[in-house]
Amino acid sequence: MSSEPPNTFHRHHQQPPQRHHLPPLLHGANINITTSSATNTPTSPPVIYRDYRKGNWTLEETLVLITAKRLDDQRRSKPNNVDPTTPRHTGELRWKWVENFCWNNGCLRSQNQCNDKWDNLLRDYKKVREYETKSSQSNLPSYWAMDKQQRKDHNLPSNLTHQIYQQLQEVVQKKSPLKILPPPTPQPPMHHQQPPPPPQPSTVAPAPVVSEASVSSETEWGSHLDPDTKRKRVRDIGSSIVHGASSLARALKRSEEKKEKRHRELMELEEQRIRLDEAQNEAQREGVASLVAAVNNLSGAIQSLAADQRPGS
């Protein structure tokens, strides 16, 4: 019976130091603070968390996120190359480092928000990049020369700026060489063209030799094919050419129709502006006329009043 009071007294003196250590933990995010003695009390311990910002991303926040992702990629690539014996932290969340970097640089977003925003940025970047490659090979207008409505008509993101596109391109290009280097597709034909150089010491130009070899290879390849297959391939090529020409003609027609429609809309807007100006001028004229009439009426009333007062005086 005498041993219980010291224990209870000791418990009551252990709780305040734990609460005094809470303020330094405010720098973290989603930190659950629990104690062994608090489990017996009916009140639950306070949970300290970050007050994340919600709503649309600003340009500054987007640039901070791109910088954080680039630095995170560099950070993750260094341990594998520098010291492969050092183990990676298994409990480290992938986007937690990005969240901390963004939080320290004024971007108050959570790791889930950063992950979702990054996925959306990559999706928009890929769409614009594919469209730019197509537009460079055809007569389509550039993405940066279109307005929001034209971008929506082409199923493209309407609010991607050129600055964000360049920043994303730098991040993607640092990863792309690792994926582009392994598949050397143009090398196999180069190996087939290397054997002809040995007979070059002769005075004959090398171009006819390559052409003769190509012609002979084409004749050998064509001799092994049936005439039916040849006809089918020719038909397929012709149909693909016709399909491409028709699609190009349709695209040109659509662009011309859009230009005409835009011109009509501009003309209608100009007519509306002219009508509004005329209505404003007419209203001003009527106002001036009514003001002049009121002044005339007032002057007439004053004169009549003055004439009435003279005989009485």
Residues 38/45, Cβ–Cβ less than 8 Å: yes
pLDDT above 80 (res 83) = no
Quote the DSSP letter at residue 27: G
Average pLDDT over residues 46-68: 87
**Same domain for 173 and 98:** yes
Q: Which domain holds residue 264?
A: 239-297
Average confidence (pLDDT) over 109-134: 93
Q: Could you tell me if residue 128 is inside a domain?
A: yes
Do residue 38 and residue 78 come from a single domain? Answer: no
The whole-model pTM stands at: 0.42
pLDDT at 79 over 80: no
Cα–Cα distance, 122 to 175 (Å, whole number): 13
Question: Model confidence over 238-247: pLDDT tens digits?
Answer: 888 988 898 8
Find out whether 98 and 69 touch, Cβ atoms under 8 Å.
yes
* Shared-domain flag, residues 170 and 131: yes
254 or 79, higher pLDDT: 254
Q: Please report which confidence band the pLDDT of residue 66 belongs to, taking 50, 70 and 90 as the band edges.
A: very high
Last residue of a domain, one of 132, 157, 177: 177
CB 73 within 8 A of CB 175: yes
pLDDT value for 231: 79
- Higher pLDDT, residue 5 or 160: 160
**Which are the contacts of 210, defined by CB distance < 8 A and separation ≥ 6?**
193, 196
Query: Within this chain, do residues 42 and 63 fall inside the same structural domain, yes or no?
Result: no
Given pLDDT bands bounded at 50, 70 and 90, which one contains residue 144? very high
pLDDT tens-digit series, residues 261-288: 999 999 999 999 999 999 999 999 999 9
Residue 125 scores a pLDDT above 60: yes
Q: Note whether residue 150 is domain-resident.
A: yes
182, pLDDT greater than 60: no
Asked whether residue 145 carries a pLDDT value surpassing 80, the answer given is yes
Are residues 88 and 169 both part of a single domain?
A: yes
Domain count, the chain: 3
Q: Is 44 exposed, middle or buried (0-12, 13-18, 19+ CB in 10 A)?
A: exposed
Listed residues 150, 177, 204: the one ending a domain: 177
